[in-house]
Amino acid sequence: MKKLPRISEAEWEVMKVFWNRSPASAQEVIEQLNPETAWKPATVKTLINRLLKKEAIGFQQTGKSYLYYPLVSEEECLRAESHSFLERLYGGAIKPMLVHYLKEEKLSREEIEELKRILDERKGSS
């Protein structure tokens, strides 16, 4: 399996555009990010170039324009980031993380019921 690239927080924002809309030109990414960020066009182009070097995105050239598309899925990246987070903060153990969040976060009744349902499903498949 191909190793997933480490994607910075800023690069993640660019990737979200590609995951939602691809292929896309650099200009389309700039326009999409403009309301959410104060990034200059050169910043977005730099982030696109970094993602190309990391092989997180690819491109196709049509005349003088380039259209970019993701080479890794959002799900793959989320899985890798979750695993990395779990390793860094909790030594890879999920139970301490869950206990911490369940004690610290206020959960709605619906969220609690959903968690119970997921745990019951997992219990049944063991």
For residue 86, is it within any domain? Answer: no
Q: Do 60 and 21 have their domain in common?
A: yes
- 74 in Cβ contact with 15 (< 8 Å): yes
Give the pLDDT confidence score for residue 39 in this predicted structure.
Answer: 93
pLDDT at 126: 61
Shared domain check, 64 and 19: yes
Tokens 């696109």 belong to residue? 48
In a domain, 113, yes or no: yes
Residue 78 in any domain: the answer is: no
Instruction: Determine, yes or no, domain membership for 41.
Output: yes
pLDDT at site 2: 61
Q: How many domains does the chain have?
A: 2
Cα(19)–Cα(4) distance, integer angstroms? 15
Residue span of the structural domain in which 123 resides = 93-126
One domain for residues 13 and 53: yes
Q: Is 122 part of a structural domain of the chain?
A: yes
- Residues 6 or more apart in contact with residue 54 via CB below 8 angstroms: 5, 6, 7, 11
> Residue 84 domain-assigned?
no
CATH of the domain at 33: 1.10.10.10
**Residue 87 counted as domain residue:** no
Asked whether residue 47 falls in the same domain as residue 15, the answer is yes
Which pair of tokens denotes residue 50? 């970094």
Closest by CA position to 48, among listed 72, 21, 30:
30
pLDDT in tens, the chain (126 residues): 467 788 899 999 999 999 999 999 999 999 999 888 989 999 999 999 999 999 999 999 988 899 999 999 999 988 888 888 888 888 888 888 888 888 888 889 999 899 899 989 988 776
